[in-house]
Amino acid sequence: MRNRLYLGAALAAAALAVLPALPASAATSSVLTYGSAGGSAVATGDVLTASLAGSSVATFYSTAAGGVGVKCSSSGFSATVTSNPSAPGTAVEALTAHTFGSCVPVGIPGVTAVLSVTVNNLGYVNNVSDAAGNPVTLSPGTAGPIQTTIVLRSLLGNITCTYQANPASLTGSTNNTGNTIGFANQSFARSSGPGTCFPAGYFTATYGQVLDTSQAGSPAVWVN
């Protein structure tokens, strides 16, 4: 009987030895999470907000290297999450508000002040990918092209300058260091306004932390 027990144990061990090793189940997360990387999934319908990161400014200059234009020390956005699939993938947001304040003219001849900077034709569609480089694409919605209207005070009175994204969409990136989203030298062309309006604009700004204000404590948002 004892020999039979030993034989049975040996056969069981041999059978286990030839079974293929099963991979450990990998935990999956959504493209957007809050609290930490791989944390709780940002829910569809959650509202994400951010202001300018740190002491940075938003600029709208006539060339990618600088030139004349407008500089704002206050800016922020609000977006509603419309899709947040499992990673890898692309989350989609509706940009419903984008504001600028404390803006000043930079080197525009005859201009003494910036009265307003207004983003038109909201909401825009914001695609946030977790692919290499964490690319972001901001595209027009149904209301019309991505457009910004700037009202300037000049020596001859107030003037209105309108600019549209050229090409139609803006590209940027996210960064989990600081939970930021940024755009650099995104090109706009003047669509209306007198010669005092600079003929082209290049938009640069970094926003962060991006926060999920629909969750308790407004935790930071991560891209996975």
pLDDT, one tens digit for every residue, the chain (224 residues): 444 433 344 433 333 343 434 333 345 799 999 999 999 999 999 999 999 999 999 999 999 998 999 999 999 999 999 999 999 999 999 999 999 999 999 999 999 999 999 999 999 999 999 999 999 999 999 999 999 999 999 998 999 999 999 999 999 999 999 999 999 999 999 999 998 999 999 999 999 999 999 999 999 999 99
| Burial tier of 204 (Cβ tally within 10 Å: 0-12, 13-18, 19+) | middle
Give pLDDT, residue 27.
56
Give pLDDT, residue 28.
75
Q: What is the DSSP letter of 53?
A: -
Beta bridge partner(s), residue 81? 93
Angle subtended at Cα 133 by Cα 127 and Cα 139, rounded to the nearest 5 degrees: 25
pTM score of the predicted model = 0.84
Give pLDDT, residue 12.
39
| Burial tier of 24 (Cβ tally within 10 Å: 0-12, 13-18, 19+) | exposed
Domain ranges across the chain:
30-223
Give pLDDT, residue 172.
96
